[in-house]
Amino acid sequence: MDESQLSDRQRQVLEAIRRLKQENDMPPTLREIAEAVGLKSVASAKYQIDQLKNMGWLDQIDNVSRGISFSDQGSRHQQEQEAAAESNVHIGKFVRVPLVGRIAAGGPILAEQNIDEWMTLPESLVGKGDIFLLKVKGDSMIDAAICEDDMVAVRIQKTAENGDIVAALLDDSATVKTFKQRDGHTWLLPRNSNYEPILGDEAQIMGKVVAVLRSL
């Protein structure tokens, strides 16, 4: 899904849709699009729309007037463009981060088959760096106010400092714990009195937890 795959005409159509939608506060009709980009036939406009639909840039509700909308991928592009263009209001940058599902030991943390979905988050929330999202299993960090099913944003780094909350790979599964080094050993401390500290010498540190997200 690269913008370079778009022809001039297709770029023109996308930009026209964005502009007309903003001007009129509703998506344009095929004929409005045709006129905006200089096409003399409605069918030509529909042809372009169908192309962009197949490429995943647009969604359209069939047989519904003005039923054109940007798809997830398309709107993300639009969003980033608008955010960059709208300089009078401070919006900041965005980071597109993968939500990692299955964890495979040994292999690279991030692999395409492990990624469930993508989410775009403001950089003010997760900071800079290589970030991925992990869904929390269990309640071992409840005293650190991290619950089951929370999503944690993890900045990839191989080590950590005492007290950092980290995501670590242990026995083929990812876990979130407090990092502590003492007496030459690495400990992964749960924050729940029902659990015992784990000796983490063999654990692989995936990164540091930099944000917590919870949907209720």
Catalytic residue IDs: 140, 177
Rounded CA separation 57/69 (Å): 9
Q: How far is Cα 10 from Cα 8, in angstroms, rounded to an integer?
A: 5
Beta bridge partners of 95: 121
Q: How far is the CB of 105 from DNA (least distance, A)?
A: 36
Distant-in-sequence, close-in-space partners of 89: CB < 8 Å, separation ≥ 6: none
Q: State which of residues 83, 103, 156, 170 lies at the interface with a second copy (CB under 8 A).
A: 83
* Residue 133: strand pairing partners: 99, 153
State the residues that interact with DNA by CB under 7 A.
7, 9, 29-32, 34, 39-44, 46-49, 51, 60, 62-68
CB 103, CB 132: distance < 8 Å: no
Structure tokens at 97: 């981060």
Among 124, 159, 162, 173, which residue interacts with a second copy (rule: CB under 8 A)?
A: 124
CB of 113 to a second copy, least distance (A): 16
User: Of a second copy, DNA, none, which one does residue 42 interact with (CB within 5 to 8 Å by kind)?
Assistant: DNA
Interaction of residue 92 with a second copy, rule CB under 8 A: yes
Which C-beta is closer to DNA: that of 7 or that of 159?
Answer: 7
- Taking Cα atoms as reference points, which of 107, 98, 101 lies closest to residue 204? 107
Q: How far is the CB of 1 from DNA (least distance, A)?
A: 17
Q: Is-contact 207 157, C-beta < 8 A?
A: yes
Which residues of this protein are in contact with a second copy, per CB under 8 A? 25-27, 29, 65-66, 69-70, 72, 74-76, 78-79, 82-83, 89-94, 96, 117-122, 124-127, 142, 145-147, 150, 165, 209-216
